[in-house]
């Protein structure tokens, strides 16, 4: 190959351009795939945070309810006992405490504190067994933070302390027991406070179990101490060893900790090759009685496993490199083939210029063009025939509408004249003429409505293209325009249940007409006069399909009517001037224009449900 030729220059330029384009697209795809992976991790983290906070809040709510129930039970029992009978009074409280301690395995201690912080009664659970502490071993808790905070609570507020480890006689109980204290003030005449210790070992185990192959959950105190960590030695490191500050999150991940504590309720970011998501969770949610500070919060932190993001990034980079290389090989080969073919064609054309074969080829091209022209003429004739047919149908509807409108105007004028000259006629004759005119007008209106329906069907069939629209907007517009008509049925209400994220590729005008016909049908046939009821418009997406239901709780459809329900001119309201074309037109619009299907279920005395099924992209179902 002689690289100095013009052909080789074009080839190298084309290859360089292809390589540049592939590098840009490959890098863009890599960034997109990486972003999607991070987004999926964040979704997983958000789900774990939501499940973890829900589990935690539900458990705290249960603890508050149990504590409040204990307070009410103690006060109810003490109200029937002489306060001067100390032995009976003390034994009653101990019995109540023991019963409640047996109610939940989470309860580790129940205490009665006097207003000065001195324990008056304490029931402990040790290894599943209950024991009452003797009076000489009762302690003063006046200096404990939870006692000072709980004294400020009023009414039925249950104070929930920050989570810490259970301490007895100045020593941390082992094995360690994460503990939260629930405290509530008794009524003033009892001069005391109830404090219940709950150990949260099972709750913490449940929170740890939320971890999966992608992300795991940490729970951190406001001081940066790990309460739950995937690395066991880090849990309660500061409490167990005051010199272990380097094991706190604030010292290990200072930038991440600063972001979590300054970004408000929720934060999501990437740090140290991990995806982080964190949220604050309240432990005491009653700001009216107890001032909330940082000690009232816990930080729930979900993050991806170390190295996962880096490994995934390398994998995606390798994947995009391999795909890009293959694409370059294919496109470079195509470019080489095209350039080679181009120069070969040029050489052939130069050789054929000296021969008369060129004339023959030109003649063939003319014959081919002539054949295409004939086919095009046939297509134009066919299209003209179809257009004429459509114009004839539309014109017939228009021409029928014009004399009907004139007749309606003449009837209106005649009614005005009769009203003006009422005195010139006998009363009975006048009433007969007015009645006849009203009958004529009603039948004329039926004819106008029938022509309008056919005209609307013709115009809808001539619609060119479908459009993309939000379904809830169409339903809202329908409710706005239909509300004046609904005033005639004050005992019937219409409810709409439609998510705001449903988008369709279809014909919104036709769909609105279908919904209006179904609602009109429900109002006309589904309810007797003075019946109260509801019409529900409910939309849901399922497997790429839209399921739209128009459901009422009226009197239902007779079984013998179901087989012929969508046939033209079938109606049960002939006496009320109904034509029987409403559901027939609905079925035509649904199947022919909207490319969907319609099903009906009904039960006498319970109501009727029309179910419309469409493809979200306008494709036929």
Q: Tens digit of pLDDT for each residue in 346-394? A: 788 888 777 777 778 888 888 887 877 775 565 454 334 434 444 454 5
Nearest-Å Rg of the Cα atoms of the chain is 41
296 and 380 fall within a common domain? no
In a domain, 335, yes or no: no
416 and 565 fall within a common domain? no
Residue 557 phi, psi (nearest 5): -115, 135
| pLDDT at 608 > cutoff 80 | yes
Determine how β-strand 119-126 pairs with β-strand 129-132: antiparallel
Mean pLDDT throughout 568-573? 60
Nearest to 122 by CA among 140, 106, 142, 104: 140
- Whether the Cβ atoms of residue 237 and residue 243 lie closer than 8 Å to each other: no
| pLDDT at 12 > cutoff 70 | yes
| pLDDT at 167 > cutoff 90 | no
In a domain, 390, yes or no: yes
For the chain, the domain total comes to: 3
In a domain, 382, yes or no: yes
543 and 433 fall within a common domain? no
Rounded distance between C-alpha atoms, residue 597 and residue 614, angstroms: 7
Rounded distance between C-alpha atoms, residue 297 and residue 312, angstroms: 34
**pLDDT-above-70 percentage for the chain:** 85
Give the SS3 label for residue 493: strand
Nearest to 164 by CA among 103, 227, 215: 227
- Whether the Cβ atoms of residue 20 and residue 28 lie closer than 8 Å to each other: no
483 and 437 fall within a common domain? no
Nearest to 51 by CA among 311, 246, 279, 223: 279
List Cα–Cα distances, 230 to 44, 131, 226, 415, in angstroms: 17, 35, 10, 89
- The number of CA neighbours under 13 Å toward the Cβ of 533 is 24
88 and 236 fall within a common domain? yes
What the block records as the tokens of 33 is 């795939």
433 and 475 fall within a common domain? no
State the maximum Cα–Cα separation within the chain, in Å, rounded to a whole number.
133
| pLDDT at 243 > cutoff 60 | no
Give the SS3 label for residue 578: coil
**pTM metric for this prediction:** 0.51
Last residue of a domain, one of 296, 317, 338: 317
Last residue of a domain, one of 317, 341, 367: 317
Give the SS3 label for residue 229: coil
Instruction: Read off the CATH number of the domain in which 39 is found.
Output: 3.30.450.20
11 and 120 fall within a common domain? yes
> How many CB atoms are located within 10 Å of the residue 309 CB?
20
408 and 539 fall within a common domain? no
Instruction: Read off the CATH number of the domain in which 557 is found.
Output: 3.30.565.10
Give the pLDDT confidence score for residue 11 in this predicted structure: 85
Mean pLDDT throughout 299-308? 91
Residue with tokens 């992209």: 617
Q: Residue 475 sits in which domain range?
A: 465-615
> How many CB atoms are located within 10 Å of the residue 571 CB?
22
Mean pLDDT comparison of 16-30, 94-108, 507-521, highest-scoring range: 16-30
Rounded distance between C-alpha atoms, residue 389 and residue 105, angstroms: 83
Buried b (16+ CB within 10 A) or exposed e, 437-463: eeeebeebeebbeebebbbbbbebeee
Output the DSSP codes for 267-285: EEEEETTEEEEEEEEES--
In a domain, 51, yes or no: yes
Rounded distance between C-alpha atoms, residue 8 and residue 482, angstroms: 72
121 and 179 fall within a common domain? yes
409 and 295 fall within a common domain? no
Nearest to 92 by CA among 125, 126, 120, 124: 120
Per residue in 308-322, pLDDT (tens digit) is 888 888 999 999 999
What the block records as the tokens of 603 is 């039960």
122 and 231 fall within a common domain? yes
> What is the dihedral angle through the alpha carbons of 298, 304, 305, 309, rounded to the nearest 10 degrees?
-150
Rounded distance between C-alpha atoms, residue 226 and residue 219, angstroms: 6
Nearest to 141 by CA among 111, 185, 100, 173: 111
């Amino acid at each position: 190959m002689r690289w100095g030729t013009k052909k080789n220059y074009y080839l190298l330029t084309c290859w360089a351009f292809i390589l540049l384009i592939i590098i840009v697209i490959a890098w863009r795809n890599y960034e997109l795939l990486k972003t999607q992976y991070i987004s999926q991790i964040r979704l997983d983290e958000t789900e774990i945070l939501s499940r973890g906070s829900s589990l935690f809040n539900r458990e705290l709510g249960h603890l508050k309810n149990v504590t409040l129930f204990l307070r009410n039970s103690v006060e109810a029992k003490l109200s029937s006992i002489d306060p001067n009978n100390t032995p009976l009074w003390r034994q009653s409280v101990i019995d109540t405490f023991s019963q409640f301690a047996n109610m939940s395995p989470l309860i580790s201690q129940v205490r009665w504190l006097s207003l000065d912080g001195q324990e008056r009664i304490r029931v402990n659970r040790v290894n599943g067994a209950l024991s009452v502490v003797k009076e000489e071993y009762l302690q003063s808790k006046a200096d404990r933070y939870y006692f000072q905070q709980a004294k400020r609570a009023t009414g039925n507020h249950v104070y929930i302390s920050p989570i810490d480890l259970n301490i007895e006689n100045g020593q941390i109980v082992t094995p360690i027991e994460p503990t939260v204290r629930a405290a509530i003030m008794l009524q003033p005449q009892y001069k005391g406070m109830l404090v219940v210790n709950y150990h949260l070992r099972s709750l913490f185990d449940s929170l740890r179990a939320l971890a999966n192959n992608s992300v795991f959950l940490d729970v951190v105190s406001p001081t940066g101490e790990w309460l739950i960590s995937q690395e066991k030695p880090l849990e309660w490191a500061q409490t167990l060893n005051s010199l272990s500050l380097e094991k706190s999150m604030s010292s290990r991940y200072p930038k991440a900790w600063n972001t979590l504590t300054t970004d408000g309720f929720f934060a999501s970011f990437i740090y140290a090759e991990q995806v982080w998501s964190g949220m604050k969770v309240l432990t005491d949610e009653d700001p009216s009685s107890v001032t909330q500070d940082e000690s009232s919060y816990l930080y729930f932190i979900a993050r991806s496993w170390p190295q996962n993001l880096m490994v995934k990034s390398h994998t995606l980079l390798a994947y995009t490199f391999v795909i890009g290389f293959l694409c370059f090989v294919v496109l470079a080969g195509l470019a080489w083939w095209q350039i080679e073919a181009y120069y070969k064609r040029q050489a052939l054309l130069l050789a054929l210029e000296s021969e008369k074969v060129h004339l023959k080829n030109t003649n063939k091209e003319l014959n081919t063009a002539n054949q295409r022209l004939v086919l095009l003429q046939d297509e134009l004739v066919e299209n003209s025939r179809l257009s004429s047919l459509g114009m004839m149908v539309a014109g017939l509807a228009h021409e029928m509408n014009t004399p009907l409108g004139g007749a309606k105007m003449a009837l209106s004028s005649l009614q005005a004249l009769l009203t003006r000259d009422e005195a010139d006629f006998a009363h009975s004759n006048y009433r007969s003429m007015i009645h006849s005119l009203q009958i004529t007008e009603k039948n004329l209106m039926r004819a106008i409505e029938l022509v309008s329906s056919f005209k609307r069907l013709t115009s809808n069939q001539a619609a060119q293209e479908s459009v993309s629209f939000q379904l809830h907007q169409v339903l809202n517009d329908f409710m706005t325009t239909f509300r004046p008509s609904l005033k005639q049925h004050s005992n019937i209400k219409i409810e709409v249940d439609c998510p705001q994220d449903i988008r369709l590729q279809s014909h919104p005008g036709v769909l609105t007409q279908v919904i209006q016909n179904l609602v009109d049908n429900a109002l006309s046939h589904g309810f007797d006069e003075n019946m109260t009821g509801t019409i529900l418009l409910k939309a849901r997406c399922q497997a790429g399909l839209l399921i739209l239901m128009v459901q009422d709780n009226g009197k239902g459809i007779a079984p013998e009517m179901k087989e012929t329900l969508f046939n033209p001119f079938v109606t049960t309201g002939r006496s009320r001037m109904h034509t029987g074309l409403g559901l027939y037109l609905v079925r035509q619009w649904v199947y022919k224009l909207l490319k969907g299907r319609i099903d009906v279920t009904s039960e006498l005395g319970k109501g009727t449900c029309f179910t419309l099924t469409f493809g979200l992209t306008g494709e036929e179902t």
